[in-house]
A and B are shown apart, each in its own frame.
Chain A
Amino acid sequence: MKNIFDTLLLTEIFQGLGITLKHLFKKKVTYKYPFEDTPIFPRFRGVQYIKTHENGATKCVGCYLCQKVCPSECIHIVTDCGPNGERLIRKYELDLSRCIYCGFCEEACPVDAVHMGRNYHTTDSTRDHYVINMKTLSENYKKELADAQAKGEQL
């Protein structure tokens, strides 16, 4: 009997609409990526950055430890002897399309150079752009530094 009533008066539908109505005025939970960023946790591991000294020179000394430790083999370093007999990094490449963001590279670095950043916007139309070099990694550092300073945080 009740069933027939419910069916005739469409109570269930109104109940449902009621819930919708309720949620309509609640605080929303969906983020409109890429127009809006999702919040991330403090220890989130995003795209790497490499620290530079005050004079802009990279802190990385090309020791190959991150390359060695990386489980997905996405770091490729080429070093050489510079004109003044110093250790020179000819190439530092990181393939983000392979990286599993495990953070081992950060752990292994003996000179506090490579770090996991907070940026995770890596989508691109071509795979080639996933390989980033020392220049990008150093620029990432500048961005991260600016962001952190804006938020009053330490990097």
Chain B
Amino acid sequence: MVTLKIDGIQVEVPKDYTILQAAEKAGVHIPVLCHDSRLNPFGACRVCLIEAVGNPRMMTACTTPVAPDMDILTNTEKLQRIRKTVIELLLVNHPLECPVCDKGGECTLQDLTYEVGLTKVRFDAKPADTPVDHTNPFIERDVDRCVLCGRCVRICDEVVNIQAISFINRGMETMIGTAFDQPWNCEFCGQCISVCPVGSLNNRVYLFKNRPWNLEKTDSVCGLCGCGCYIELETEGSELYRMGELPEKGANHGNLCAKGRFGFEFVNSVKRETSAKVRAAGELADADFDQAVVTVAEKVKSIRAQHGAEAVAVLVSPRLTNEEAFLANKLAKEVIGTGGMYALEPHSSLPEATYADIEKSDAVAVLNIDVTEANPILGLAVRAAARMNEAPLYVFYPSETALKRLAEKQFTGTPDEVYASMTRLVEGQGAEAAVLEVLKKAEKPVAVYNPYNTADLWFVSELKKQVPALKLAAARAKANSQGIVDMGALDAAKLKEGIQNKTIKALLCFGENPAVRTGWADLSLDSLELLAVTDPFMSETAKKASVYIPVATYAEKDGSFTSLEGRVQTVNRALCKGLKTDAEVVAALAARLGGSLPSCSCEVRELIRKEVPLYKEADFDGGVISYPYAVKGEFEKPAKAAAGEGAYFLYPSSLRLHSGSYTRWSPDLAKVYGEPKLEISPADAEALGLGDGDAVSVSAAGITKVFKVHVEKHMTKGCAALPEDYVDTAQIFSKGRYHKVSLGKKG
């Protein structure tokens, strides 16, 4: 510990602190421009200059470490004068278009100009007039406004680890760009936008749509993937305008991915349904809400009277909040009288490692999942471990992933080869034995895996037996994938069986879209006498419904989601589109069926505390639940991954831009990735005579589908990948996750 004085205030801080950190602790404000607490000190802007008594030179507070007995002055007349000049110099090259610039109102340079009281610039402004770059789908770039603080370059390197952008040229010519002026080819996470202190990098989805002082801000949680990012929903009236990041709150440190940051537009979509529908004479016809609920309730009653309560099943989706899932469970058990509700989510694995565990880990294994694509923020934690903590990182995945540049070793190959590799890992044989040794020796080893595949569960449970210290992170796919399991959702295998052998006659499907889910797309729902579906959109399943009720999205409801870390976080309603929430639908149904359930989330939360032992002490504002186990169950050692006879291995890939069926309704994400594409390696593409965008037919397990080709140099020769959660691909993957397929050029 070091003791020093800042503006006369004595503070004691650890010796690796910078003067800026010490000042923060002392409660002294030092203006900064190029500094960001998430990034390494850089010292580019000189705005944070301070004086140390007895030292004639001034120092930058953000980069200078503290020393014992320093006497720091942060606001002398000399400093004020110099700060003013620094800002003046910055403004020479910075066009003063504040009323037009999208950053107006939240621009650090604007704020600093006010703060130092600058009213007149002594130097002639010489703004360049470089054209604004609109080529990137998500990022608008105006290099003239750049103050060369390097925050974007640093966050893309230090946190995202993509190094998509850098300083190019020198001296007066310096600017931010890509090597050889290539188009930005990156993760589109928008982290660079979020740190840019001026309006040089702007969010194109929000571009010129509104202004910060005009927007209402509501803290909430992203409702798309299982990462559970803490966000700020920025709204005006009933429109959602922007996803803001909150670096101080939440486990994601303000980082978001392309889906969360740019994909929210589906909430405002005009394609959303506004009226309930009841099927009459084969067609779905508009009905009012009460009528729809009555129809469902009457049908449920008659089916229950005829076939017993077990003929009615409830299926919930991970879009439901914990509160809603809890109510749905009560509806199933107490009001209808069945065994409970089902969900298409695995039960054998529960959260264990938190992001902090992963970031601090000293050895990381990523098992058969493209984690930066599937769960981008979990991916950032893995990157932080490998980059900042220098933990050895081992990646097992059929193709090369974005973790390539950080991985100590990658084990790629066909799915069969990857499984063989993982088998050698758990058995401690071959080249993989060394990896097992590293994991065994590590103090805080972590493994990230895909919990949706039972074959993978065998590997992690075996690995856990070998390395008891290993902490597991199950990469759950959707916003509340964990929460609905915690609220008692049952394994849906029984539901599938019930529908297949027709013992289930009525299905109340809350938000789920089985028609595009792997393992379910081949299930015919036609034998059901009642299929009631709630969904914000007319989904593939909703189209088959006998009663359809449009419902609110995550931005329009209160409740909580449990992330893949096991972190319970509160979701707050930011806007209202006049639609019912799933909780209200459940409550209305219960009332019609002669029960009574509350729909207000605080009431339900009390019930959860009482009735769900895991959540007895839960802190719904970011507390982590401690689970009884990480993986449990008997898993069979997978024999061969892929079935079938074709020449190519097909496996499901993850997409950063889409997680399931929600994001497909986002017009902005669809611009970049609108339809499923088959990824193959350049060598295979050449052999098949295919180029980017060509049509290719994929035949597997008796199904033939046509997709567009995307030639991807990271793909392993002999492999092909398709994204999950599209109607066509779900049908293929429902026959098995891995296939030997034959590919043929079309047309």
Contacts and interface: CB of A to CB of B under 8 A. Distances in A.
The yes or no verdict on A and B being binding partners is yes
Interface of A: 61-65, 67-68, 79-82, 85-88, 110-111
Contacts of A82: 208
B100 A61 contact: yes
B214 A88 contact: no
B132 interface: yes
Main secondary structure of the interface of B (DSSP, over half): loop
Nearest to A87: B208
Contacts of A62: 208
A95 to B, nearest CB: 16
A64 B213 CA distance: 8
Interface size class of B (residues with CB under 8 A): 10 to 19
Contacts of A67: 214
A111 B99 contact: yes
Contact of B207 (A65, A81, A110, A111): A81
Given A85-B132, A85-B134, A85-B140, A63 B208 contact: no
Given A68-B214, A85-B132, A61 B99 contact: yes
A68 B99 contact: no
A110 B110 CA distance: 14
B104 interface: yes
A63 B211 contact: yes
A148 to B, nearest CB: 25
A85 B132 CA distance: 8
Contacts of B100: 61, 63, 87
A64 B210 contact: yes
A81 B209 contact: yes
Interface string B82-110: 00000000000000001110001000000
A79 B210 contact: yes
Contacts of A64: 210-211, 213-214
Contacts of B104: 63
Interface in B183-235: 204, 207-211, 213-214
A79 B208 CA distance: 6
Contact of A110 (B98, B132, B134): B98
Contacts of A81: 204, 207-209
Nearest to A84: B134
Nearest to B142: A85
Residue among A61, A64, A110 with most chain B CB within 10 A: A64
Residue among B99, B204, B207 with most chain A CB within 10 A: B99
Nearest to A110: B99
Given A67-B214, A79-B208, A81-B209, 11 more contacts: A61-B100, A63-B99, A64-B211, A68-B213, A79-B209, A81-B204, A81-B208, A85-B132, A85-B134, A87-B208, A110-B98
Nearest to A77: B214
Contacts of B209: 79-81
B237 to A, nearest CB: 10
Contacts of A80: 208-209
Nearest to A67: B214
8 contacts: A64-B211, A68-B211, A68-B214, A79-B210, A85-B207, A87-B208, A88-B208, A110-B99
